[in-house]
Amino acid sequence: MISCAYSMYFCSQNVENMRVIILLVIAVVGIITAYLITKPSDEKPLPVINPVDLNSEMVDPDLVRQGFGHKIGDFSFTDQNNKTFSLKDVKGKVFVAEYFFSTCGTICPKMTAQMQRVHHHFKQNNQVEILSFTVDPETDSVARLAEYAQLHHADSKQWHFLTGKREKLYEVARKSFFVLKPAAVQNQGDVGSDFIHTNNFVLVDRQLRIRGYYDGTSETEVDRLMKDMERLVEE
């Protein structure tokens, strides 16, 4: 009888000890998980870029003092498939924008090659879009852009080559993406202007805010762009 009672006591103690161990394991796992979630990231958050943060030469005078709240404005153009493409088609997505023209023989081929890298990297990701606005719509017709897109293996579901009225294209460049000096608008026919040769890729987040500018001719800069795009996609 005593032996049986002792055995039951011993068993109950083992069960109690096991409960304590399980509770301790749960507590330790909880502490580690909480630490990993709340520990500061080694990476600095991407800035939200507003007109006041930029060289005033690149900002429309009406916007130059805007310190917060800038978002890409509404637009509507035609893509290489002769379909209307507008701001609503990129809302809620991460996208990168550039300005180019198909007959450019200087920096545009380098930029297109780098954008192909971006396209290949994110080709299976439906949360990413690429917008290539022409600055020479008189030459870059829908048919011309379709040919250019095909030449560079661009999937029209993700990489959109856009054309439209010159004044509208330039207005978006000047007031939304800030890649055109306002004074250059007066010289729109000059295909050698600084605007035509801008090398900037512009990164925009899901809230239509500018999060970075990158040299589209630099492999290192475009590597940084893709990493930043991944961060925004994961947010």
Q: Is the pLDDT confidence value at 124 over 50?
A: yes
Q: What is the pTM of this model?
A: 0.78
User: What is the pLDDT of the chain when averaged over all its residues?
Assistant: 85
Q: How crowded is the C-beta side of 4, counted as CA atoms within 13 Å?
A: 1
Q: Identify which of 35-39, 54-58, 59-63, 169-173 has the greatest average pLDDT.
A: 169-173
The fraction of the chain above a pLDDT of 70, given in percent, is 78
Q: What would the mean pLDDT of 152-162 be, rounded to a whole number?
A: 97
Q: Is the pLDDT confidence value at 121 over 50?
A: yes
Return the domain boundaries, the chain. Answer: 1-39, 51-234
CATH architecture of 51-234: 3-Layer(aba) Sandwich (3.40)
74 is written with which tokens? Answer: 């509404």
